[in-house]
Structure 1
Amino acid sequence: MNAASRKNPADAKLGFFGRIALYIRQIFGELKKVQRPSRSELWQMFLTVILFVAVVMVFVGLLDAAFSQLSLWIFG
């Protein structure tokens, strides 16, 4: 079975602009399926990201301070 025989025959009859319109309709159809978070879920995710970023900043800051102190001891 080749690729041409697997295509939907109705799609083959569509012209260039018809395929673009079909694509846009499919996009909106998929967007209707998207489940958006509630306000409380969004706030919880926001706080989780902020906390994670703060923890990573502290960790990188401590590593930076340790390596700078180590370079001062080595190179004086």
Structure 2
Amino acid sequence: MARKVIDEPSEDVVANAKRERAAKRNPFSRIALFMRQVFAELRKVVTPTRKELFSYTVVVLVFVVIMMAIVWGLDQLSGLLVLYVFGTPGV
């Protein structure tokens, strides 16, 4: 599958990264750079609407219930298999 243009970083981002990498920084300036980058990424975050949040919550809950049912079923099956192989206790 071909990469989309949106997946590739822009030239200015690459140039800034190379320039920053080339400059030797002390630990405090590296921490400050990291924090600036964190805040820049946080500005890109899009908060879901109430409808989207409800939809995502329902999807997660349904998935968890399905996974619980699968694990419960496998647990019951393995319990029956163990009883079949080793017999009932106390007999």
TM-score > 0.5 by shorter chain = yes
The residue type equivalent to 1:40 in the other structure is: K
Distance in 2 between residues matched to 1:66 and 1:32, nearest whole Å: 49
Distance in 2 between residues matched to 1:14 and 1:63, nearest whole Å: 55
1:3 matched residue in structure 2: none
TM-score, normalised on structure 1?
Answer: 0.71
For structure 2, the 5+ residue unaligned runs are: 1-16
Aligned residue for 2:64, secondary structure, equals helix
TM-score, normalised on structure 2?
Answer: 0.61
1:12 paired with 2:23, answer: yes
Report the Cα offset of residue 65 of structure 1: 0.7
1:25 matched residue in structure 2: 36
Report the Cα offset of residue 41 of structure 1: 0.8
Q: How many residues align?
A: 70
Larger helix proportion, structure 1 or 2?
Answer: 1
Alpha-carbon distance change, 71 to 29 in structure 1, aligned in 2, over 3 angstroms: same
Percent identical? 43
Alpha-carbon distance change, 46 to 74 in structure 1, aligned in 2, over 3 angstroms: same
Pick 1 or 2: higher relative contact order, CA cutoff 8 A, min separation 6: 1
The residue type equivalent to 1:75 in the other structure is: F
